[in-house]
């Protein structure tokens, strides 16, 4: 039995037992809460960490440090390969008790169910609703599923507190329109708009998203840089990493140099944060947002 | 067939230019009041974003579309003249695939190169690919079909490598998908200024080539009789076309269709002389891309970037190609070289028996031996996860090889493969629409959608084929047009950065991951049914390549036999595509390998091809599951890695030395 199972609180255990007995009676829920959990999604995996049940294996573990950074994935977590092609022979050998997945991986559902109980969490879907409130609900549901209700509530509270703290710290920037982009190459950006986690966090922190255009299924749009000219009064924050030639090419571009936020020096770099994450990514992003804008003059 | 447009190339270019001009003026009027146009273009007010956008985005974009379109039109005309093949186009030489791969590798492993200049990296990659193509076809004195075949093989290989990089590093290479889609969006005049003098130089070079190319339109032997070095002229024209294509793909990305459509349309419109074809192709290419790009900007609005112009040219161009097909005077030359490849084998049965043994051994290996956390192991426990994949790969290999062999014998075209039939593209269309229209769908719904797509493509193809007496070349062209449309759609989706596009990429690259026991069972039944039907088809296939008159004289009604063979091929392709995606390299490879083993009559060749197809796919699937553990390389890609070098070697080998 892994060490994490001993950290169950009595109240959590009772609650889990009660929910098993009352809501979902059945042989699969009869035993203790599952301790051997596997996640095929970064967002769900990063939520498992603060809940105190680190996953035994995740998809694309080798790229975690580049895209999620924080919370750090403990060493020894098994890499399952690509999420959409998680290694089934390996998964079978690991004998997990619970597999966490998303509707994006729906075609894998029946296969995964042959290995272990599989639960799907919808955070990024086109239905009404946005990622942050969905992440709160999913965190609560996940906490209940693994017998960590109180830790889940603590995470939700901590995240709300982080948002409020950032909002207070950025009070002088309240209502400032901000473009949040990733540079794709020297001519294109991915701009995060409505229905993205970043948009939710910016709103919670009192900022306004400068991108009002259409977005895709995952809450971003891929556009030419000239499209950013629509809101010259905005700030621009770009998420790292950025390709080697982009900044030099932009420096030579008369159009880029004529954009309001460039002329006023309101362009900021921000370390990477997972754009398709859940509450831990939202907290990291809010923290980075606070650091990035803290030094900037409120009305530059 | 052979009917000419009443209007000449001049009116064609003029009419399209008027339409493009009208759209440009209308779009410009929406962005800036006409009173400010002169100011904006001459000396824009830096504080007025609208003026800056017109000066540094709208205007250079228009100029770039003209320059790139012109360059591609000229490149296409040069290639079509040099190869005497109305289907030659800049992408045929593998330049764009090579450039794409070079850029992907630079992004991952040598980002410093990008700071030196993306276009140089891309051009170098394109040049290497083109040199490889020319090297592979050199021994055959750059014979037109060999060049096109080598170009396709190199394109496939580069494409497979780039796809694998994209699968393993999807986050990093998002920018590459935009580039691959050919986005004309501009923020300054750098690209236009870069292209202008180079295009002018290329036009000068083309002018110098007019006379030699005119003589080249004679037969090879006659041209040689006039004291011309045929390979040298071809090489010069090819080099110029490669440089032009490299410039375009290096600066704005892959814009494939213009280089094929412009020269073909010019020919249909009545341009005959070499100089006229080169000049009008350049102008028509420029106007076509201008019009397409203005339409994209006008119709797409906010989504303009999600619909890269390069992908849209293919979407618009494919119906155009369908319209062109009955109007092109197509005489695809009979295959040279590859057909006369090997001496006839003395004991075909012995070869077939050896291949069967090899296949059985490989299946056993694939089921029992695997790689895990503790390294290599032999066990029967995991067979439950392995057999659906191994058998799906096996069945798909057999089906594709049978379909490819049938097509190649039927059309006498060594480049025919099931992918070219358009049925794979139809299945792929169905699946894409299902994935994107109905958010979360299961495997059964995916299968249903793909089947429906394959059926519709098959019916459309049969309807078109009936109009032209099921001429095999026509059917192949229809397939190429459908395939181009499908590529365009996928590229557009990739460029939009939608993560669901990755699912498609997996399936397209021939992953057996999703194969269920049912899939494998259905595919195996279909494979065995096809093998059983081979003896029935074999007599036709021995006769059909002799040509309509002879096969008619031998008592074979050409229409009926063609139609039966088409339906059989389409059905085999459909089943295989559902299981293993539209990347059907095995369908091209296996029949060639069988022929090189010395099997020349239809039945033994097809049976050997089926066995080789099975061997290739089972080996590819097993290798893909174990080589990069815990990652898995799709079997289609692995088969390409195994098969491509083999085909290149076969191509480069001197025949009948």
Residues B138-195 have pLDDT tens digits of 776 666 566 666 777 787 778 777 777 776 765 544 544 555 556 777 778 888 998 9
State the smallest CA–CA distance between residue B581 and chain A in angstroms: 15
**B115 Cβ under 8 Å from any chain A Cβ:** yes
Containing B250, the helix (H) or strand (E) segment is helix B230-251
Question: Are B358 and B615 in contact, with CB atoms under 8 Å apart?
Answer: yes
**Number of inter-chain CB pairs under 8 A, A vs B:** 174
State the smallest CA–CA distance between residue B353 and chain A in angstroms: 33
pLDDT at B70: 95
Which residue carries 């052979």 as its tokens?
Answer: B2
Which chain A residues touch B511 with a CB distance below 8 Å? Answer: 85
**B306 Cβ under 8 Å from any chain A Cβ:** yes
**Residue B245 and residue B304 in one domain:** yes
pLDDT at A182 over 60: yes
**Residue B287 and residue B349 in one domain:** no
pLDDT at A3 over 50: no
Give the strand pairing for A78-79 and A220-224.
unpaired
**Residue B237 and residue B357 in one domain:** no
Which chain A residues touch B372 with a CB distance below 8 Å? Answer: 89-90, 93
Surface of B (274-303) touching A: CB under 8 A: 302-303
Report percent pLDDT > 90 for chain B. 15
pTM over 0.90: no
**Residue B388 and residue B254 in one domain:** no
SS in 3 state form for chain A? CCHHHHHCCHHHHHHHHHHHHHCCCCHHHCCCCCCCEEECCHHHHHHHCCCCCCCCEECCHHHHHHHCCCCCCCCCCEECCCHHHCCHHHHHHHCCCEEEECHHHHHHHHHHHCCCEEEECCCCCCCCCCHHHHHHHHHHHHHHHCCCHHHHHHHHHHHHHHHHHHHHHCHHHCCCEEEEEEECCCCEEEEECCCCHHHHHHHHCCCEECCCCCCCCCCEEEEEHHHHHHCCCCEEEEECCCCCCHHHHHHHCHHHHHCHHHHCCCEEEECCCCCCCCHHHHHHHHHHHHHHHHCCCCCC
Surface of B (504-523) touching A: CB under 8 A: 506, 511, 513-514, 516
**B49 Cβ under 8 Å from any chain A Cβ:** yes
pLDDT at B462: 64
**B186 Cβ under 8 Å from any chain A Cβ:** yes
Which chain A residues touch B112 with a CB distance below 8 Å? Answer: 244
Instruction: Say if B207 falls within a structural domain.
Output: yes
**Residue B171 and residue B91 in one domain:** yes
Per the CB < 8 Å rule, is A243 touching B175? yes
Question: Are A237 and A179 in contact, with CB atoms under 8 Å apart?
Answer: yes
pLDDT at B172: 47
Nearest chain A residue (CA) to B513: A85
Containing B352, the helix (H) or strand (E) segment is helix B348-368
* Higher per-residue pLDDT: B201 or A29: B201
pLDDT band at A50 (very low <50, low <70, confident <90, very high): very high
**Residue B356 and residue B209 in one domain:** no
Which chain A residues touch B385 with a CB distance below 8 Å? Answer: 88-89, 92
Per the CB < 8 Å rule, is B118 touching A223? no
pLDDT at B328 over 80: no
**B638 Cβ under 8 Å from any chain A Cβ:** no
pLDDT band at A2 (very low <50, low <70, confident <90, very high): very low
**Residue B169 and residue B140 in one domain:** yes
Instruction: Say if B353 falls within a structural domain.
Output: yes
Surface of B (65-94) touching A: CB under 8 A: none
- Selecting from B57, B178, B304 the residue whose C-beta is nearest the C-beta of A255 gives B57
Angle at B59 between CA B313 and CA A257, to 5 degrees: 115
pLDDT at B20 over 70: yes
Nearest chain B residue (CA) to A240: B172
Name the residue among A245, A187, A105 with its Cα closest to residue B439.
Answer: A105
Per the CB < 8 Å rule, is B306 touching A222? yes
Average pLDDT, rounded, for chain B? 77
pLDDT at B414 over 70: no
Q: What is the ipTM of this complex?
A: 0.74
- How many whole angstroms separate alpha carbon B274 and alpha carbon B206? 10
- Selecting from A84, A125, A216 the residue whose C-beta is nearest the C-beta of B506 gives A84
State the smallest CA–CA distance between residue B502 and chain A in angstroms: 8
**Residue B299 and residue B159 in one domain:** yes
Instruction: Say if B571 falls within a structural domain.
Output: yes
pLDDT band at B198 (very low <50, low <70, confident <90, very high): very high
- How many whole angstroms separate alpha carbon B289 and alpha carbon B293? 6
Per the CB < 8 Å rule, is A84 touching B186? no
State the smallest CA–CA distance between residue B292 and chain A in angstroms: 18
**B52 Cβ under 8 Å from any chain A Cβ:** yes
Q: pLDDT for B419-428, tens place per residue?
A: 666 777 777 7
CATH superfamily of A3-159: Nitrogenase molybdenum iron protein domain (3.40.50.1980)
- Selecting from B115, B179, B498 the residue whose C-beta is nearest the C-beta of A244 gives B115
The number of folded domains in chain B is 2
Instruction: Say if B289 falls within a structural domain.
Output: yes
pLDDT at B329: 58
**B167 Cβ under 8 Å from any chain A Cβ:** yes
Which chain A residues touch B303 with a CB distance below 8 Å? Answer: 214
Q: pLDDT for B87-102, tens place per residue?
A: 677 776 777 778 878 8
State the smallest CA–CA distance between residue A9 and chain B in angstroms: 33
Torsion sign (Cα): A251, A253, A254, A258: negative
State both tokens at B64.
Answer: 């770039």
State the smallest CA–CA distance between residue B306 and chain A in angstroms: 6
Q: Looking at residues B331-342, what average pLDDT do you find? A: 46
Q: Which range is least confidently modeled, A180-184, B193-197, B300-304, B458-462?
A: B300-304
Which chain A residues touch B631 with a CB distance below 8 Å? Answer: 81-82, 85, 87
Q: Looking at residues B292-321, what average pLDDT do you find? A: 71
**Residue B481 and residue B532 in one domain:** yes
pLDDT at B55: 86
pLDDT band at B6 (very low <50, low <70, confident <90, very high): low
Name the residue among B88, B77, B102 with its Cα closest to residue B142.
Answer: B88
pLDDT at B237: 87
Which chain B residues touch A229 with a CB distance below 8 Å? Answer: 49, 52-53
**Residue B355 and residue B486 in one domain:** yes
- Selecting from B56, B188, B497 the residue whose C-beta is nearest the C-beta of A190 gives B497
Per the CB < 8 Å rule, is B441 touching A217? no
Q: pLDDT for B561-575, tens place per residue?
A: 777 777 777 778 878
State the smallest CA–CA distance between residue A287 and chain B in angstroms: 23
- Selecting from B111, B385, B386 the residue whose C-beta is nearest the C-beta of A244 gives B111
- Selecting from A63, A90, A110 the residue whose C-beta is nearest the C-beta of B372 gives A90
pLDDT at B59 over 70: yes
Strand partners, A188: A224
**B646 Cβ under 8 Å from any chain A Cβ:** no
State the smallest CA–CA distance between residue B230 and chain A in angstroms: 43
Per the CB < 8 Å rule, is B56 touching A226? yes
pLDDT at B231: 75
* Domain assignment of residue B212, given as a range: 9-327
State the smallest CA–CA distance between residue B196 and chain A in angstroms: 19
Per the CB < 8 Å rule, is A222 touching B53? no
Q: What is the CATH number of the domain that holds B631?
A: 1.10.3470.10
**Residue B552 and residue B606 in one domain:** yes
How far from B240 is each of A229, B226, B272, B413, CA to CA, in Å? 39, 23, 21, 28
* Residue limits of CATH 3.40.50.1980 in chain A: 3-159, 172-294
State the smallest CA–CA distance between residue A204 and chain B in angstroms: 26
**Residue B265 and residue B393 in one domain:** no
Which chain B residues touch A104 with a CB distance below 8 Å? Answer: 440, 499-500
- How many whole angstroms separate alpha carbon B93 and alpha carbon B135? 12
**B51 Cβ under 8 Å from any chain A Cβ:** no
pLDDT at A54: 92
pLDDT at B500: 64
- Selecting from A126, A183, A188 the residue whose C-beta is nearest the C-beta of B439 gives A126
Q: Looking at residues B359-377, what average pLDDT do you find? A: 85
Per the CB < 8 Å rule, is B629 touching A87? yes
State the smallest CA–CA distance between residue B446 and chain A in angstroms: 9
State both tokens at B66.
Answer: 């003209």
Q: Does domain A172-294 have CATH number 3.40.190.10?
A: no
């Amino acid at each position: 039995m892994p060490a994490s199972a001993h950290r169950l609180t009595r109240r959590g255990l009772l609650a889990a037992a009660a929910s098993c007995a009352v809501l979902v009676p059945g042989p699969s829920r009869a035993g203790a809460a599952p301790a051997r959990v596997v996640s095929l999604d970064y967002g769900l995996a990063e939520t498992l960490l603060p809940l105190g049940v680190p996953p035994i294996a995740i998809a694309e573990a080798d790229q975690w440090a580049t895209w999620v950074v924080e919370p750090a994935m403990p060493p020894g977590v098994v890499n399952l390969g690509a999420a959409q092609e998680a290694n089934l022979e390996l998964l079978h050998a690991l004998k997990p008790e619970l597999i966490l997945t998303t509707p994006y991986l729906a075609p894998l559902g029946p296969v995964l169910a042959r290995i272990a109980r599989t639960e799907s969490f919808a955070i990024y879907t086109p239905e009404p609703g946005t990622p942050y409130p969905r992440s709160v609900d999913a965190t609560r549901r996940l906490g209940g599923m693994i017998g960590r209700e109180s830790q889940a509530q603590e995470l939700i509270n901590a995240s709300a507190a982080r948002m409020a703290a950032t909002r207070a710290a950025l009070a002088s920037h309240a209502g400032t329109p901000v473009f949040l982009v990733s540079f794709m190459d020297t001519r294109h950006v991915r701009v995060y708009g409505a229905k993205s986690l970043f948009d939710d966090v910016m709103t919670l922190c009192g900022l306004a998203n400068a991108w009002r255009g259409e977005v895709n299924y995952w809450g971003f749009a891929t556009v030419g840089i000239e499209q950013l000219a629509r809101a010259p009064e905005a700030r621009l924050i770009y998420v790292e990493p950025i390709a080697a030639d982009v900044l030099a090419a932009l420096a030579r571009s008369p159009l880029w140099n004529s954009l309001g936020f460039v002329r006023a020096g309101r362009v900021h770099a921000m370390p990477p944060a997972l754009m398709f994450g859940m509450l831990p990514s939202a907290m990291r992003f809010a923290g980075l947002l606070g650091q990035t804008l803290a030094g900037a003059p409120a009305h530059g | 067939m052979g009917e000419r447009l009443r209007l000449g190339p001049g009116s064609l270019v003029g009419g399209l230019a008027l339409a493009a001009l009208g759209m440009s003026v209308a779009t410009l009027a929406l962005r800036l009041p006409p009173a400010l146009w002169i100011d904006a273009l001459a000396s824009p007010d830096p504080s007025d974003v609208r003026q800056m956008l017109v000066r540094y985005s709208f205007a250079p974009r228009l100029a770039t579309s003209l320059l790139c379109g012109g360059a591609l039109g000229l490149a296409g005309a040069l290639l079509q003249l040099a190869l005497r093949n109305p289907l030659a186009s800049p992408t045929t030489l593998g330049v764009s695939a090579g450039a794409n791969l070079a850029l992907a590798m630079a992004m991952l492993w040598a980002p410093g190169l990008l700071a030196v200049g993306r276009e140089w990296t891309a051009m170098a990659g394109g040049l290497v690919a083109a040199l490889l193509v020319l090297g592979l076809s050199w021994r055959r004195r750059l014979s037109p079909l060999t060049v096109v075949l080598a170009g396709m093989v190199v394109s496939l290989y580069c494409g497979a490598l780039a796809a694998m990089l994209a699968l393993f590093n999807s986050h990093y290479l998002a920018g590459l998908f935009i580039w691959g889609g050919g986005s004309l969006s501009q923020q300054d005049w750098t690209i236009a200024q870069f292209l202008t003098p180079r295009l002018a130089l290329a036009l000068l070079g083309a002018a110098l080539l007019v006379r030699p190319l005119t003589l080249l339109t004679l037969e090879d032997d006659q041209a040689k009789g006039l004291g011309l070095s045929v390979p040298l002229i071809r090489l010069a024209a090819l080099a110029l076309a490669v440089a032009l294509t490299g410039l375009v793909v290096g600066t704005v990305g892959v814009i494939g269709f213009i280089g094929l459509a412009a020269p073909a349309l010019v020919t249909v419109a009545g341009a005959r002389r070499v100089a006229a074809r080169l000049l009008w192709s350049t102008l028509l290419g420029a106007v076509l891309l201008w019009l397409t790009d203005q339409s994209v900007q006008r119709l797409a609005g906010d989504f303009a970037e999600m619909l890269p112009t390069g992908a849209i040219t293919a979407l618009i161009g494919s119906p155009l190609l369908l319209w062109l097909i009955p109007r092109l005077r197509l005489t695809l030359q009979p295959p040279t070289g590859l057909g006369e490849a090997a001496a006839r084998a003395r004991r075909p049965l012995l070869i077939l028996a050896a291949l069967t043994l090899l296949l059985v051994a490989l299946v056993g290996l694939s089921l029992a031996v695997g790689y895990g956390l503790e390294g290599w192991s032999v066990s029967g426990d995991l067979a439950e996860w392995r057999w659906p994949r191994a058998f799906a790969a096996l069945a798909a290999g057999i089906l594709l090889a049978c379909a490819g062999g049938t097509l190649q014998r039927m059309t006498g075209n060594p480049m025919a493969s099931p992918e070219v039939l358009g049925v794979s593209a139809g299945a792929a269309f169905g699946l894409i629409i299902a994935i994107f229209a109905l958010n979360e769908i299961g495997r059964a719904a995916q299968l249903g959608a793909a089947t429906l797509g394959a059926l519709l493509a098959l019916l459309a193809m049969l309807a078109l084929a009936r109009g032209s007496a099921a001429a095999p070349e026509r059917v192949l062209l229809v397939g190429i047009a459908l395939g181009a449309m499908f590529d365009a759609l996928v590229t557009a989706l990739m460029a939009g950065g939608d993560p669901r596009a990755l699912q498609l990429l997996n399936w397209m690259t021939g992953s057996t991951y999703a194969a269920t026991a049912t899939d494998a069972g259905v595919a195996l039944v279909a494979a065995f049914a096809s093998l059983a039907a081979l003896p029935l088809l074999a007599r036709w296939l021995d006769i059909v390549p002799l040509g309509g008159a002879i096969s008619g004289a031998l008592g074979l009604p050409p229409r009926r036999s063609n139609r039966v063979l088409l339906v059989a091929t389409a059905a085999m392709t459909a089943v295989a595509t559902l299981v293993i995606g539209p990347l059907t390299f095995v369908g091209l490879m296996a029949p060639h390998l069988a022929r090189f083993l010395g099997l020349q009559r239809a039945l033994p060749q097809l049976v050997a091809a089926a066995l080789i197809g099975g061997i290739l796919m089972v080996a590819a699937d097993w290798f893909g599951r174990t080589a990069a553990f815990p990652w898995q390389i799709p079997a289609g890609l692995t088969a390409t890695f195994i098969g491509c070098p083999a085909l290149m070697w076969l191509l480069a080998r001197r025949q009948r030395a």
